[in-house]
Amino acid sequence: MSISLGRILPIVVIDSADDAEPLAEALLAGGIRQVEVTLRTPAAIEAARRMARHDDLVVGVGTALTTDDVSRAADAGARFIVSPGLIEPVVERTLALGLASIPGIATATELARASAFGLDLLKVFPAEQLGGVAMIAALAAVFPEVRFMPSGGIGPTNAGAYLSHPAVTAIGGSWMAPREAIKARDFLSIADLCTAAGELLR
């Protein structure tokens, strides 16, 4: 199943589920309509559940490492599942539940294995450390049908370079909603960072 995501995906780490609601409001205020909630904290699933109550916010779950992670995310209302690498049972469970699967790839071999599932969008992680836009351009030349969503080391200074590559349909990153800003409940700054990120698309 494919999904229509915007071009900029905030990747968030939420320490308290009570921050989920104001965070969703801040993202929407900043013009962002999609978010990846990483399963890196005990509060993540409940936070995803609360954010998914917003009809106008497409909520996905990231750092999905096991089939159980996928099932819990689906139950919480996640519409897409992201993993840092290609974990085939995670992809299979995600597709079986009718959700969009966006596994991470870091090599041509992993890309080929992910493509065998018929996936139309693959995460490249950790993008900047792997070689950035040049690495994606090299892969895109060999696999012209694949679309990429890089994340890892992307921020305001290099986001534009990724977005300008035709094979990159979206980029992900934590810079729009830093964990410390969420913890500090600095939702005004988060809304401003999201607005600034949106301006990269102009």
Ligand X SMILES: O=C(O)C(=O)C[C@H](O)[C@H](O)COP(=O)(O)O
Angle at CA of residue 101, ends 57 and 137, nearest 5°: 100
Q: Is 85 in the site for ligand X (CB under 6 A)?
A: no
Shortest distance, position 152 Cβ to ligand X, whole Å: 5
CA distance 83 to 125: 9
183 is annotated as an active-site residue: no
Q: Which is nearer to ligand X, 26 or 170 (CB)?
A: 170
Q: Is 62 in the site for ligand X (CB under 6 A)?
A: yes
> How many chain residues interact with ligand X (CB under 6 A)?
17
Greatest C-alpha distance within the chain: 45
Q: Which is nearer to ligand X, 103 or 191 (CB)?
A: 103
Shortest distance, position 117 Cβ to ligand X, whole Å: 17
Give the Å distances, CA to CA, from 108 to 60, 116, 150: 25, 13, 15
Shortest distance, position 37 Cβ to ligand X, whole Å: 10
36 is annotated as an active-site residue: yes
Site string for ligand X, 115-154 (x = CB under 6 A): ----------x-------------------------xxxx
Task: Give the closest residue to 44 by CA, choosing from 18, 13, 66.
Answer: 13
Q: What part of residues 27-46 is at the interface with ligand X (CB under 6 A)?
A: 36, 38
Active-site entry in 21, 110, 123, 180: 123
Among 10, 60, 132, 172, binds ligand X (CB under 6 A): 172
The C-alpha torsion from 15 through 99 and 74 to 191, rounded to 10°, is 30
DSSP 148-200: EEEBSS--TTTHHHHHTSTTB--EEESTTS-HHHHHTT-HHHHHHHHHHHHHT
Among 11, 73, 167, 182, binds ligand X (CB under 6 A): 11
Q: Which is nearer to ligand X, 101 or 174 (CB)?
A: 174
Q: Is 173 in the site for ligand X (CB under 6 A)?
A: yes
Contact in structure between 80 and 102 (CB atoms under 8 Å): yes
Which residues contact ligand X (rule: CB under 6 A)?
Answer: 11, 36, 38, 62-63, 82-84, 125, 151-154, 172-175
Catalytic site positions: 36, 123
